[in-house]
Structure 1
Amino acid sequence: MKCTCWGWYNWAKMDTQAHTRDFVVIDGSYGEGGGQIVRVSLALSMLTGRPFEIRNIRARRPNPGLQPQHLTAVYAAATLAQARVEGAYLGSSTLRFIPGEIEGGEFLFNVEEISGAGSAGSVLLVAQTVLVPLALSGQSATLRLLGGTHVGWSPGADYVKYVYLPALREMGIEADLHIEYAGFYPKGGGMCTLRVKPADAPPQPIEWLDRGTIQSIKVITTISNLPDHIVRRGDETAETFIGLTGLRPEFIHHFLPSRGFGVSLTLAVKAEHGYAGFIRLGRRGVAIEQVVEEAWNEFVAWAKTRTAVDHFLADQLLLPAVFATGPSTWTTPKASSHLRTVLWLLPKFMQVGLELTPWGEQGVQVKVVPGGEGIIGLNGAEGSNHTST
């Protein structure tokens, strides 16, 4: 495994040749205005070879600039793409990135090493930054990731393993995730291994409109340093709810070591045309029965729309779709701020046609045409009875 140390790169300045290249200039405060702009820009730069400069990074956030989890994503992308980088330090509001050739292998990326202290910064967001570029560049890689695995405001490890990766598999991108230690907020300390296989062809387009029949529901519980009866009670509650659909759930339990304690529950749904996941984290003083019910209510709200994917997966499909062999389309309950932000960002790096239009009574439809032109509906479609987040 390659030791990845900050000293490998000259983070303070770039050579003269770097300054002569045309940069894609991005306003980091646009739309969602968070770390997503940084992560997607890194992935697009790795895949297109186009350098970029982001200004005003997370400018409207209480802790503006690059934080440990964002900086770890920069570090991972720079390591894998042999990139030259400027502005990669904690709190930085401007970042320049010039990619080189993507290189596979074995790597270790540690959010805590970047922060200099314990951190529950999400390692799954780091994984999602580099997974598609690695696969589409024909590189195999094994990434050991240390930090937060089940934390708020990010896809948990179980969502990535049982929702995101199966959806990518439908498009021809293969990867697997093994979770060894759970990293709950605030102590972190989680560890997982992502193995990415080289794609032997461009991604296949998808056409997921009406979800069709629901084929399976997995109930995934990850728990650390809490009584086992919590899992049993959660399963009993989930079985009661899911029984209303006529389906028998599949129960998956991860009893993992951890620095702290916590429980995460994920409902992973496979439909005839699409995937969805609903995550709830346990909280002090909240019974597991309520945690399950909260996830169930989110599932019911999605299922009523008959859309193909949840609103988190909706924006995560955009990156592989722009490199697919033909147009892709899918539906989701609402046009989130994350979705709109990525739609705004994509044409800055490449030629692509994009459409965001109402679908049915309670949803929106996303259409991606690689090599196409124009953006339709970015400032219009919302999805009935839903607002952007």
Structure 2
Amino acid sequence: MKLIQLDGTTGGGQMLRTALSLAMITGQPFRMTNIRGKRPKPGLMCQHLTCVKAACEISDGTADGAEIGSTELVFRAGRIRGGEHRFAIGTAGSTNLLYQTLLPALLYAEAPATLRLEGGTHNPMAPPFEFIDQVFLPTLWRMGAEASVTLLESGFAPVGGGVIECAVTPCNGLRPLVLEVRGELTSLSLRVPTRNLPIHIAGRMLDAALAELPCDDATVEIREPGPGRGVCCLYQANFTNAVEMTSAFGETNVTAERVGRRAGKLLSDFIGAEVPVGRHLTDQLLLPMALAGGGSFLTMAPDDHVPTNISVIEKFLPLQIKVEEAGRGKWRIGTA
């Protein structure tokens, strides 16, 4: 079978993850060159290599160029296998992004699958575990997916050491979802998970987020004992027809107040945008929507991940995804 040719110069790890998912589902092999070409450290890093190796295992596939630093990869998938699998990233690389690489394929497996994934669960370069559990998966359930995730151990960057377990039941195909009305705001909740740091840091972060966007359900969560240390601010909004979570992570030389204000402002901006889908979920819904063969949603102005992700999807599937302004700062994304 002829190789699909992909140029990763302008994209990041998401291009590779989407290509791996689609190659497993469609059986079409691909060659990607210039992987993460414009990143400070181009080529495959530990988290990307783990995605490649995991895709090989669950699909009896092969990968040429699967090594750290490689800027070219040829991947060929076989038959998708369910069963029990364990994958360890070895760094604080995101277990949540690894899960999102494997989940679409396992929905098309011949048997249910259980995954144990080890690495980072709270990483500033990826959605936190709670986003997957509270925002991403509930949206997929509405499309007919049967999947769940459980947090066994939090893993903060840069140490990692987190563990999640995932269960996936194959389905008969995803259903199209139209998500253009979010309904009324029903609740707000604020969580500040922390480990091995003075408690006043998390408290200041929480207070700053509340000053930006008040809510009655706010608490600090101690995630000890465990490896490493870290803190993040997770702010969630539930609507009658949608849910969104924003996050901000503690980092060296950045005050707790600044982190808390950022999480609060991000959610406040989303609420003001009057759309049902946030920027992170936008990128993550493109592939399920395409696999369902239809659907649409309203979101905020999309970031650069969206066109690069769409370009990969359209190489594998016989459809087009349109991105168009819908007025008043809203954007509609849907299949053509």
TM over 0.5: yes
Structure 1 residues 18-65: Cα deviation after superposition (integer angstroms, max 9, x where no partner): xxx211111111x4x211111000001111111111111112222111
**Partner secondary structure for residue 266 of structure 2:** helix
Residues 126, 138 of structure 1: alpha-carbon distance in 2 compared, 3 angstrom cutoff: same
Q: Give 1:310's aligned residue.
A: 278
Residues 230, 82 of structure 1: alpha-carbon distance in 2 compared, 3 angstrom cutoff: same
Q: Is the 1:102–1:139 Cα contact (8 Å) retained in structure 2?
A: no
Report how far residue 233 of structure 1 moved.
Answer: 5.3
Q: Is the 2:203–2:220 Cα contact (8 Å) retained in structure 1?
A: no
Residue 225 of structure 2, aligned match among 244, 251, 257: 257
Q: Give 2:241's aligned residue.
A: 273
Residues 173, 248 of structure 1: alpha-carbon distance in 2 compared, 3 angstrom cutoff: farther
Report how far residue 348 of structure 1 moved.
Answer: 0.6
Q: Give 1:353's aligned residue.
A: 320
Does residue 164 in structure 1 map to residue 144 in structure 2?
Answer: no
Residues 153, 43 of structure 1: alpha-carbon distance in 2 compared, 3 angstrom cutoff: same
Distance 1:203 1:254 in 2: 37
How many equivalent residue pairs?
Answer: 336
Q: Give 1:23's aligned residue.
A: 3
Q: Give 1:115's aligned residue.
A: none
Structure 2 counterparts to residues 1-389 of structure 1, below 5 A: 21-29=1-9, 31=10, 33-112=11-90, 119-137=91-109, 139-199=111-171, 201-231=172-202, 234-235=205-206, 238=209, 242-243=213-214, 248-249=216-217, 253=221, 255-284=223-252, 286-324=254-292, 327-369=294-336
Please, which moves more after superposition, 218-227 or 304-313? Answer: 218-227
Report how far residue 299 of structure 1 moved.
Answer: 0.9
Distance 2:211 2:145 in 1: 35
Distance 1:220 1:141 in 2: 31
Report how far residue 137 of structure 1 moved.
Answer: 3.1
**Partner secondary structure for residue 327 of structure 2:** coil
Distance 1:349 1:217 in 2: 39
Report how far residue 257 of structure 1 moved.
Answer: 3.2
Q: Is the 1:184–1:260 Cα contact (8 Å) retained in structure 2?
A: yes
**Partner secondary structure for residue 180 of structure 1:** strand
Report how far residue 134 of structure 1 moved.
Answer: 0.6
Report how far residue 349 of structure 1 moved.
Answer: 0.5
Report how far residue 183 of structure 1 moved.
Answer: 1.9
Distance 2:238 2:175 in 1: 18
**Partner secondary structure for residue 352 of structure 1:** coil
Q: Is the 1:311–1:336 Cα contact (8 Å) retained in structure 2?
A: yes
Give 1:68's aligned amino acid.
C
Distance 2:94 2:175 in 1: 29
Q: Is the 1:209–1:307 Cα contact (8 Å) retained in structure 2?
A: yes
Please, which moves more after superposition, 72-81 or 247-256? Answer: 247-256
Residues 251, 202 of structure 1: alpha-carbon distance in 2 compared, 3 angstrom cutoff: farther
Give 2:8's aligned amino acid.
G
Give 1:34's aligned amino acid.
G
Distance 1:37 1:285 in 2: 32
Give 2:325's aligned amino acid.
P
Report how far residue 254 of structure 1 moved.
Answer: 5.6
Report how far residue 268 of structure 1 moved.
Answer: 2.5
Larger radius of gyration: 1
Distance 1:138 1:368 in 2: 28
Residues 254, 96 of structure 1: alpha-carbon distance in 2 compared, 3 angstrom cutoff: farther
Give 1:27's aligned amino acid.
D
Distance 1:175 1:221 in 2: 26
Give 2:128's aligned amino acid.
G
Q: Give 1:375's aligned residue.
A: none
Give 1:328's aligned amino acid.
G
**Partner secondary structure for residue 315 of structure 1:** helix
Give 2:289's aligned amino acid.
A
Q: Is the 1:334–1:364 Cα contact (8 Å) retained in structure 2?
A: yes
Q: Is the 1:163–1:268 Cα contact (8 Å) retained in structure 2?
A: no
Distance 1:286 1:158 in 2: 23
Give 1:151's aligned amino acid.
N
Distance 2:185 2:314 in 1: 34
Structure 1 residues 163-214: Cα deviation after superposition (integer angstroms, max 9, x where no partner): 1112212212122222222222222222221222222x32122212232212
TM score, norm. by length of structure 1: 0.80
